[in-house]
Amino acid sequence: MTAVREITTMLEMLPQQEQDFACEVVRKLIIAWDSDFTKLTAHEAVELKLAHIQAAKGEVFADNDIDWNNLDNLNLG
């Protein structure tokens, strides 16, 4: 993980445009290494589509509506 931290530190020194470019280069490297990286399973695709629909309808919760320390007893009703 030392290399990852070093790369992160170096990237944070760059202007935003160069950070975006570096991110795209890394994305292309990952996809070349693992072509399934960006693919969703059929179930994930359905869940993602539902999430987009819910977000478009405003059916979302604010971060402070969620008790992040007690997710097993989540009650947003």
Q: Residue 6 — pLDDT band, cuts 50, 70, 90?
A: very high
Rounded distance between C-alpha atoms, residue 64 and residue 4, angstroms? 31
Rounded distance between C-alpha atoms, residue 2 and residue 35, angstroms? 26
Q: State the average pLDDT over residues 51-71.
A: 87
Write down the domain spans for the chain.
Answer: 2-33
The structure tokens listed for 61 are 């919760």
What does the pLDDT read at residue 24?
Answer: 92
Taking the mean position of all CA atoms in its chain, how far away is CA 15?
21
Q: State the average pLDDT over residues 5-26.
A: 93
Backbone phi, psi, residue 34, to 5°: -140, 95
